[in-house]
């Protein structure tokens, strides 16, 4: 699933769960360290996909979104980091990002 952007507007929706399911959801959230709201949004996405009400994002769209979110960080890292160890890591990240962009063009 594609990660959701933090800037979007969310609609509050109340749900009722059986106590056993609510307890299992609490346990899952605690074990996975993923907030219940995120787990429930993922569940709704899967339900909508299953019933054909939501289109699954293409692999290309997911990769393009990943590149768009990572590229500014890698670029800033490469420009600002001066330590040899971190500079090497930034150079590796820049190289891998370039390779990913080239593969995306071939895709």
Looking at the structure, tell me whether residues 66 and 102 fall in a common domain.
Answer: yes
Helices within 1-107 (DSSP H only): 19-32, 36-50, 59-80, 84-106
pLDDT over threshold 60, residue 3: no
pLDDT over threshold 80, residue 23: yes
* Tokens standing for residue 27: 């346990």
Structural domain for 91, as ranges: 59-106
The whole-number pLDDT of residue 106 equals: 73
Looking at the structure, tell me whether residues 89 and 69 fall in a common domain.
Answer: yes
Q: CA 52: distance to chain centroid?
A: 22
pLDDT over threshold 80, residue 32: yes
Query: Do 49 and 56 touch, CB atoms closer than 8 A?
Result: yes
Chain mean pLDDT for the chain: 82
Question: Which of 87 and 50 is assigned the larger pLDDT?
Answer: 50
Looking at the structure, tell me whether residues 63 and 101 fall in a common domain.
Answer: yes
Residues 6+ apart with CB under 8 A from 28: 34, 39
Number of domains in the chain: 2
């Amino acid at each position: 699933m594609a990660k959701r952007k933090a800037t979007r507007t969310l609609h509050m929706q109340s749900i009722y769960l059986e106590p056993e399911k609510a307890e299992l959801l609490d346990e899952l959230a605690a074990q996975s360290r993923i907030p219940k709201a995120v787990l429930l949004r993922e569940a709704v996405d899967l339900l909508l996909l299953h019933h054909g009400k939501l289109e699954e994002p293409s692999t290309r769209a997911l990769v393009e979104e990943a590149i768009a979110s990572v590229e500014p960080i890698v670029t800033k890292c490469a420009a600002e980091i001066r330590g040899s160890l971190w500079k090497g890591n930034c150079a590796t990240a820049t190289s891998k990002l370039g390779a990913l962009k080239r593969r995306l063009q071939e895709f």
